[in-house]
Amino acid sequence: MIKKGSISIFCALTFILNSFSQNEINYSLIDSLGKSFTNSLKIGNIAYLKNSQPPKGTYTYERLLEFKEALKNKPNEVKFGSIVEPSIDSNYYAYNLFAYKRVDEESIEYYFAAIISVNISGDTYKIENSYLFTEQDALKSWWKHIFGFYYTEKNKEIPEEYVYPVCPPPPFKE
């Protein structure tokens, strides 16, 4: 026979366990949403961006064409990386995809960094914003943000399969 007090304790434990599991971050889902959103870009299908009017200093279609040409003519030179990271606002995580090439032993040239902002506050994760950077100042700003993510070791909180193994190289020589 179950006593009334036992039911209350059972209900309380069930509530606590449900609350805990609902707060668990589904990194795989964030990663999947980011990958599906950026897949066209990653494989060089950029026609949908041709007539876009991006905010000044963020990206240019011409730079994306250079990336597309590199994928076509020298695909082994193009390197990709991705990172899932928490936002300052705990309701959001970001998926970062970046593409670069090594110019020489000391320098890297980035083609782009694409950031997909995912709202994780509800039962359904939703993409709410996206950002694309090809321009040097925007890439520097993005990289400094990512450096902060690695420097504070917040990246250790993310399962390793969703984090680039080391801080990506800077897009500048300084």
pLDDT (tens digit, 9 = 90+) per residue, 29-63?
Answer: 999 999 999 999 999 999 999 999 999 999 999 99
Mean pLDDT of 125-149: 96
Q: Mean pLDDT, the chain, as a whole number?
A: 88
Look at residue 11 and tell me if it is in a domain.
Answer: no
In a domain, 156, yes or no: yes
Would residue 19 count as lying in a domain?
no
Q: Is residue 13 part of a domain?
A: no
Q: Bigger pLDDT: 143 or 21? A: 143
Instruction: Please name every residue paired with 120 in a beta bridge, in sequence order, or none if there are none.
Output: none
Q: Is residue 72 part of a domain?
A: yes
Residue 157, both tokens: 């909180």
Q: Residue 1 burial (CB < 10 Å; 0-12/13-18/19+)?
A: exposed
Range of the domain at 30: 25-162
Residues contacting residue 136 through CB under 8 Å, at least 6 positions apart: 171, 172
- 135 inside domain: yes
Residue 91 lies in a domain: yes
Provide the domain count of the chain.
Answer: 1
Residue 46 lies in a domain: yes
